[in-house]
Amino acid sequence: MKRILIRNGLVTDDRSSVKADVLIEDGLIKAVEPCIEDSVLQEGDELLDAKGMIVMPGAIDAHTHYHLVSRGTVTCDSFREGSRLAAFGGVTTVIDFADHNKGQDLLQSLAYRRDEMRDGMAIDYTLHQGVYGHGYNSTIGRQLEILKSKGVKTLKIFTTYRNTGYLIENRDDLLDLFRNARRLGMLVCAHCEYNPMIEEISDNWKGDFSPASHALLRPAEAEAKAIEVFGQIALEADCPLYVVHCSSEKGLNAIRDLRKKGLVVYAETTPHYLFLEKSKLNGPDGSLFVMTPPLRERSDNEALQDGVLNHEFHVIATDHCAFTREQKLSSSDCRTIYPGIPGSEEMLALLNTFKDEHPSMTMSDVVRLVSTEPAKLFGIYPQKGSLEVGTDADITILDPSEKWTLTDNNVHSASHYTPYRGFKVCGKVRTTILRGKIIMNDGEYYGEPGEGRFIEQH
């Protein structure tokens, strides 16, 4: 395998940014030093000049749904498309989800998802394992022990979707799950929307079902209530809680309240809850902006942005769940619009831009949120999320000063649209390196389906 020397970059991890060179050998980081001479290179090796560029650990999108089969359809970015667009966005690892399949236990469900992903993934990946109500039984504790031995330590639960069987309805079962997670050192990640409140609003709803109503049918109060109720159970079990895709100021306040009570709460938000507001749901293409939880008010964007600046969030991830324009626009009824939007590719450019607009935020903060902290929380650090010598040479080279405008035509999702259309951003990924192999350089993609590896969580 050829060696790569990256010279003159601003080498940035979660703690510092220093001008340095990086040498990659056999897929690993061999050296990070102030000056590495070109003479270390032999014929066939590669020299990359990163003058003026940020050289950072590959981004980790800790919340993706590539090839999600749901509601009688499948998302348009499968593993090949997802890997490709991720590489364009400087993402070298994703943490996707293994559904808890009906009729299968957790181990069978994990094996099923791993089989699905194996041949298509061109970047590395690991999985959160769904634990759903329809499959909950007294053997869960034993199943979790085996799951952990298979390299999956993060669990995903839903606090809503009773009709699909996702919701674990029995409080004792939930307490049991959190207690098992604590016993085994596993992390419970929760999609927080309080189902009784959502069902009550829906049952009494007199309005229409346009895309704009989606936000009213699933209000911020439901997010806050779910965080409060499920957080209380986590407190009883003395087990940390990870809140996925926090969308609202009320949700963030509920997280703050739990922390005051002594619970360790890890919080994730997404670029769309930071930068898009619910007015997007109005108009003829409102369906394109439907995801769950829904977009909120401008004041929610601002409160979440403050939360990011104040280090109240551990992770920014995208919840990438892409459908084509045709799939999205096939319904204008918010009960049947396929929920989810693309985002893995846009994440770094959006966050670099946000950082530039907020002097208190550093590039190390960006690296912490999209690489180091997800790697640590999900058990793949320092192999991922670091620039330590001897770890995987997953490296993103970002030109922090390139200004460009996001359009439907300059992103790579098979959805053929970006929810951030028209956003003027600063920062473009030049090169993406996965375990020492350049998989994207200057707009050309070199990833190979099947070369992505499943990374075990420790």
Q: Given the rule CB under 5 A, which residues bind Zn ion?
A: 191, 319
If one counts every other C-beta atom within 10 angstroms of the C-beta of residue 52, the result is 12
Rounded Cα–Cα distance for residues 87 and 97 (Å) = 19
For residue 278, the partner it binds in Zn ion, ligand URP, none, with Cβ less than 5 to 8 A by kind, is: none
Give the shortest CB-283-to-ligand URP separation in angstroms.
19
For residue 340, the partner it binds in Zn ion, ligand URP, none, with Cβ less than 5 to 8 A by kind, is: ligand URP
Give the shortest CB-331-to-ligand URP separation in angstroms.
14
Cβ-based nearer residue to ligand URP, 156 or 428: 156
Q: Is 57 in the site for ligand URP (CB under 6 A)?
A: no
Give the shortest CB-244-to-ligand URP separation in angstroms.
7
Give the shortest CB-299-to-Zn ion separation in angstroms.
22
For residue 219, the partner it binds in ligand URP, Zn ion, none, with Cβ less than 5 to 8 A by kind, is: none
> Using CB under 6 A, which of 13, 319, 345, 346 touches ligand URP?
319
> Using CB under 6 A, which of 286, 340, 342, 447 touches ligand URP?
340
Cβ-based nearer residue to ligand URP, 30 or 65: 65
Only one residue has tokens 């050192």, namely 185
Residue at shortest CB range from Zn ion:
191
Give the shortest CB-48-to-Zn ion separation in angstroms.
35
Give the shortest CB-327-to-ligand URP separation in angstroms.
13
Q: Is 191 in the site for ligand URP (CB under 6 A)?
A: yes
> Using CB under 6 A, which of 23, 197, 321, 429 touches ligand URP?
321
Does the bond joining 294 to the residue before it have cis omega, within 30 degrees of 0? no
Cβ-based nearer residue to ligand URP, 21 or 193: 193
Q: Is 189 in the site for ligand URP (CB under 6 A)?
A: no
Cβ-based nearer residue to Zn ion, 319 or 394: 319
Instruction: Pick left, alpha or beta for residue 427 (phi over 0 → left; psi -120 to 50 → alpha; otherwise beta).
Output: left
**How far from 207 is each of 104, 280, 332, CA to CA, in Å?**
39, 19, 14
Residue at shortest CB range from ligand URP:
339
Rounded Cα–Cα distance for residues 196 and 194 (Å) = 6
Cβ-based nearer residue to ligand URP, 24 or 337: 337
How far is C-alpha 113 from the geometric centre of its chain's CA atoms?
A: 17
Give the shortest CB-340-to-ligand URP separation in angstroms.
4
**How far from 57 is each of 11, 80, 89, 92, CA to CA, in Å?**
9, 22, 13, 9
Amino acid identity for residue 168 in this structure: I
Cβ-based nearer residue to ligand URP, 135 or 339: 339
> Using CB under 6 A, which of 3, 7, 30, 65 touches ligand URP?
65
Cβ-based nearer residue to ligand URP, 89 or 340: 340
Q: Is 291 in the site for ligand URP (CB under 6 A)?
A: yes
Give the shortest CB-191-to-ligand URP separation in angstroms.
5
Give the shortest CB-255-to-ligand URP separation in angstroms.
18
Q: Is 241 in the site for ligand URP (CB under 6 A)?
A: no
Give the shortest CB-419-to-ligand URP separation in angstroms.
12
# of chain residues touching ligand URP (CB under 6 A):
8
For residue 427, the partner it binds in ligand URP, Zn ion, none, with Cβ less than 5 to 8 A by kind, is: none
> Using CB under 6 A, which of 101, 129, 292, 386 touches ligand URP?
292
Which residues lie near ligand URP (CB under 6 A)? 65, 191, 291-292, 319, 321, 339-340
